[in-house]
Amino acid sequence: MEVTLQQLTKQFGSKTALNGVTLKWEEGVQGLLGPNGAGKTTLMRLLATLLSPTSGSATIDGVPLKEKHAIRELIGYLPQEFSFYPGMTVVEALDYLAILSGLDAAARRKKKINELLEAVNLENHRKTKVKALSGGMKRRLGIAQAMIHEPKLLIVDEPTAGLDPEERLRFRQLLAGFSANRVVLLSTHVAEDIESSCREVTVLTKGSVPFQGSVAQLAEQARGKVWAAEMDSSEWHMANQSFNIVSAVAKGSRMSVRLLSDSPPLPGAEAAEPTMEDGYLCLVKAGGSLQ
């Protein structure tokens, strides 16, 4: 199972949201990281056949994107803005979706729904109306609906936004467990989501892909460019204007600062070990699109 993109492009009027992206994703959880407006949702909607490309092509498990019907059987999609059937209970909503996805036999549906409710930890909310679920629970119901027909490609658009740490952990474990023999495409702004669960990470910025590789390789993009320094307030003022600051912690009257710079930023600054987030920031700043 693999997903391939060939020069995939999407324009909205004169705006190019996705600019000739060529890549390949193999089985496992694939992280998609990019700033607001980078084109993540556009790319996912193209793969979900909810948008048509302006040019270029893609295949999912060898099936071309333009064979919409066959593609829809292969994919599950949890949109960024997710809501459905507010008046139904959790079980009713899943049962309805299971029927739509072709699970005709009632006994099989029941078994499948029980498995899914257990996997997403919603067994105690079987009879709760969808509109009465918390944001995190709705998200979990969303992932259950996207998994119901056991898709080969599961597309989840920022599923961990707004989840508490425990829920996020559970969610990542769920995706990792599901990803055997499948591709799970996960967009997120949370570096930890990627570091802890992704086989590979793809960085998208301004519609293009400047990087695809492992978490460790992404961190390497920042090697030699991350510096740690202790500063007084005038040095901090200067550094804040001149450099990309990764973090700053006040220590009494001084600041303990981590920043990005191609060369030593000030006397006494020490080269620091880069993290994945540093590598990401380097790429995005180079593209000039960090917001």
b/e burial code for range 223-249 (CB count within 10 A of at least 16 → b):
eebbbbbebeeebbeebeeebbebeee
Report residue 173: phi and psi, to 5°: -65, -40
Q: How far apart are CA 255 and CA 182, in angstroms?
A: 46
Which partner, Mg ion, ligand ATP, none, binds residue 145 by CB below 5 to 8 Å per kind? none
Which partner, Mg ion, ligand ATP, none, binds residue 36 by CB below 5 to 8 Å per kind? ligand ATP
Residues 40-79 that bind ligand ATP (CB under 6 A): 40-42
Strand 15-25, strand 63-64: pairing: unpaired
Residues 70-129 that bind ligand ATP (CB under 6 A): 80
Q: How far apart are CA 106 and CA 11, in angstroms?
A: 44
Residues 63-122 that bind Mg ion (CB under 5 A): 80
Query: Of 30 and 259, which has the nearer Cβ to ligand ATP?
Result: 30
Q: Which stretch binds ligand ATP (CB under 6 A): 29-37, 100-108, 264-272, 282-290?
A: 29-37
CA 140 to chain centre: 15
Whether residue 260 contacts residue 234, with contact meaning beta carbons closer than 8 Å, is answered with no
Query: Of 1 and 50, which has the nearer Cβ to ligand ATP?
Result: 50
- Enclosing H/E stretch for 97: helix 90-100
Q: Which stretch binds ligand ATP (CB under 6 A): 31-39, 111-119, 123-131, 222-230?
A: 31-39
Does the footprint of Mg ion cover residue 160 (CB under 5 A)?
no
Q: Smallest distance, Å, CB 41 to ligand ATP?
A: 3
In 3D space, the residue among 220, 228, 224, 227 whose CA is nearest the CA of residue 280 turns out to be 220
Binding site for ligand ATP (CB under 6 A): 12, 15, 17, 34, 36-42, 80
Binding site for Mg ion (CB under 5 A): 40-41, 80
